[in-house]
A = this chain, B = another copy of it.
Amino acid sequence: MTDKAFQDFYPDEFAHCYGCGRLNEAGLQIKSYWDGEESVCRYTPEPFFTGGFPGYFYGGLISSLIDCHSAATASAAKLRADGFALGEKPLSRFVTASLKIDFLKPTPMGKIIDLRSRVLEIKSRKIIVSTTLSAEDEIRAKGEAIMVQLPENR
């Protein structure tokens, strides 16, 4: 067992992402964890990440959070499917092949954002991840990402 996040197990060379890299000091450094079959990530945005009008979230950040959390979920799901617990070996790194976001309602600033993902399919190096983004207990956006595992020895 570990209380570390998925992203804490990325090899150093893959830990530079602006959204989720623990080595990117200017970045968002989001953190994802298992909660049963779902993965969760909680995040409160900096006040400058507004959308077109103040008080609401910038759509690009919604896409970014869903993207990074989906990638981490794919990595952790692959590790689990291979029979390992977090920390037993470094995570594989997945990159996004395709990302689809449906924006359902505006997302208010100043609230905790709750991301929850489920793995829909694991097929060799491809994993499909479905995500909801909520604030104040209402789903504000939904995402589906097709993630592809990078080769281990490049």
Q: Does A118 contact B (CB under 8 A)?
A: no
| A45 to B, closest residue via Cβ | B18
Contact digits for A40-61, partner B, Cβ 8 Å, 1 yes 0 no:
0000000011111110001111
**Interface check A100, CB cutoff 8 A:** yes
Copies of this protein in the assembly total 2
Tally of contact residues, A, Cβ under 8 A: 41
Give bound CA distance, A80 to B59, whole Å.
25
Residues from chain B with a CB closer than 8 A to the CB of A98 are: 100-103
What are the 5 closest A-B residue pairs judged by CB atoms, nearest first? A60-B64, A63-B63, A26-B48, A18-B58, A14-B52
Name A residues whose Cβ lies closer than 8 Å to a Cβ of B: 10, 13-21, 24-27, 48-54, 58-61, 63-65, 67-68, 71, 93, 95-103
